[in-house]
Structure 1
Amino acid sequence: MIFIRYENWKGYLKYFPLTSLFLIANVVMFIVLTVNGGSTNNMVLLKFGALTNHELFAHEWWRYITSMFLHAGFGHLLFNSFALIVFAPPMERLLGSVRYGVLYLGGGVLGNILAVAWYNSVGSITISVGASGAIYAVYGAFLYVALFQRTMMDEASRKTMYTLLLFGIIFSFAMSGINWMAHLGGLLGGFFIYGLLIRLWKPRSLKR
């Protein structure tokens, strides 16, 4: 089962350095938001890089990246941190840190781009933060493995991934205030980015 973590904290930092860096960045930025007015304050979020489709910020392309490291409330941070800690490490091990970084950031950015396009199409203003799009990109990559590289993933892990995706999709649409398009865009982005990456670089084996 690839999603069970066996490492102590030193081993985790050693084997999954980029995932660890993403986690640390999320926590640090949450502290920064908290001491500067609160992580649920929209003005604070915009000040530190939240994504929005408001015309005043339309030229600030960097928000597509910075918003991935901001979280609105401790529960939001905790939920995404848990997903990163448990589910992302096997993908970093499979692709290596550099390629995994391309997947994570590329999928997150694509999810944000599609989310902005969606809100623009319906004429609604949005302020969006969170690592969910990037995390769903990792899920999308695992979905590719589960469907097309079945020998690289054990059956228990495959069933866990399908269940996780099912509940994730239901949760994305059932809960209010969830940027479901960022989730869906990240999932699709991760699926196709992974497919491209494995054609450029041969991945390692996931089986323990």
Structure 2
Amino acid sequence: MAETELSVVCKSCGSEVSPYVTECPYCGTRLRKRAPKLERRGEALAPQETRRDRRRRRSAERRERRERMRRLALAVERPYVTLAAILIPAAIVIVDRGSNLTLEQLGAIEGFAGTTPWWHYLAAPFVYNDIGYLFAVGVAMALFVPGLERRLGAVPTALLLVACGALGALAAQGLDDALGDGFTFAAGGNGVALGALGAWVMIRRADARDDPTEELDTIPLVVAAAVLLLLPVVNDYANWWAGIVGGLTGLAAGFSATLGRR
């Protein structure tokens, strides 16, 4: 146990005494009404923190962590996952326009449940039949995925995007089979984009809760979510179920990422 530092001076006799005693051991003068509660911090004893002090310390630690992460983010040259999530689908669009391959051959889901090869569930979220569809999803990727890369890292972010897309595509065919006619069209990254948006919102929401100075502007987020959710209205391959399930997957992943900070 570390030796307690003598830092309190008795006003009566001028002796230095421990800050954790109530009476001066030299003259008996009353120094305080009660001794502070102690708690062990490492190998030393220190006064027990009040709830307010503990909240302030934790808030300061969170701000310091976020500042370190911001400095680290500035040191990152390029958000590689974001670039890949935009450029790979763009390359597939070019291949589609310049070859005789069909969207289904490139990985789009067209057909009944049980007839779709497994790899289509991984590929379909990155296959687009329309440049406008790709543009809408690409803007969402550029807005939300870089923040996820900085907070989660490149590999977890890539796995998150793949999971949102694949689970959305899988759910689209399963739910169409259970609730519809069973024939499914599903391609493009509306589920991936909604998943990235959901994860980003959960992480930023945790930041705003920890630090009242951080505000979360909900209006642009609602507009972005509405645009992505309504993509199936203007594009047959943007599946409703893929978007909803992909968004829910992102929300769950973002919530899980914040659990360790509670």
TM-score (norm 2): 0.61
Q: Structure 2: how far apart are the matches of 1:84 and 1:127?
A: 22
How far did 1:183 drift? 0.8
Contact 1:23–1:81 under 8 Å retained in 2: yes
- Which sections of structure 2, spanning at least 5 residues, go unmatched? 1-73
Q: 1:186 aligns with which of 246, 255, 261?
A: 246
Aligned to 1:17: 80
Contact 1:99–1:197 under 8 Å retained in 2: no
How far does the alpha carbon of each residue in 1:66-100 deviate from its partner, in whole angstroms, 9 at most, with x for none? 11111012211222222222232112112111111
Q: 2:221 aligns with which of 127, 148, 161?
A: 161
Aligned to 1:48: 106
How far did 1:141 drift? 0.6
CA 1:76–1:84: 2 relative to 1, 3 Å: same
Aligned to 2:145: 88
User: After superposition, where does 1:140-155 map in structure 2 within 5 Å?
Assistant: 140-151=198-209, 154-155=214-215
Instruction: Give the residue type in structure 1 aligned to 2:98.
Output: V
Q: Structure 2: how far apart are the matches of 1:112 and 1:100?
A: 18
Contact 1:52–1:116 under 8 Å retained in 2: no
Q: Structure 1: how far apart are the matches of 2:136 and 2:245?
A: 19
Instruction: Give the residue type in structure 2 aligned to 1:19.
Output: T
Q: Alpha carbon RMSD of aligned pairs, Å? A: 2.7
Q: What SS is found at the alignment partner of 1:130? A: coil
How far did 1:157 drift? 4.2
Aligned to 2:122: 65
**Identical pairs, percent:** 20
Larger RCO: Structure 1 or Structure 2 (Cα < 8 Å, ≥ 6 residues apart)? 1
How far did 1:146 drift? 4.5
Instruction: Give the residue type in structure 2 aligned to 1:63.
Output: H
CA 1:118–1:51: 2 relative to 1, 3 Å: same
CA 1:53–1:184: 2 relative to 1, 3 Å: same
CA 1:145–1:68: 2 relative to 1, 3 Å: same
Q: What SS is found at the alignment partner of 1:14? A: coil
Q: Structure 1: how far apart are the matches of 2:106 and 2:183?
A: 18
How far does the alpha carbon of each residue in 1:177-205 deviate from its partner, in whole angstroms, 9 at most, with x for none? 341111110110111122334457x7xxx
Instruction: Give the residue type in structure 2 aligned to 1:21.
Output: A
Aligned to 1:4: none
Q: What SS is found at the alignment partner of 1:15? A: coil
Contact 2:127–2:188 under 8 Å retained in 1: yes
User: After superposition, where does 1:97-136 map in structure 2 within 5 Å?
Assistant: 97-121=154-178, 122-136=180-194
Q: What SS is found at the alignment partner of 1:155? A: coil
How far did 1:156 drift? 5.1
- Which sections of structure 1, spanning at least 5 residues, go unmatched? 1-10, 38-42, 203-208
Larger Rg: 2
Q: What SS is found at the alignment partner of 2:181? A: coil
How far does the alpha carbon of each residue in 1:45-65 deviate from its partner, in whole angstroms, 9 at most, with x for none? 11111123425733x111111
Contact 1:142–1:161 under 8 Å retained in 2: no
How far does the alpha carbon of each residue in 1:127-161 deviate from its partner, in whole angstroms, 9 at most, with x for none? 21101111111011123234444247942544422
Q: Structure 2: how far apart are the matches of 1:152 and 1:51?
A: 42
Instruction: Give the residue type in structure 1 aligned to 2:104.
Output: L
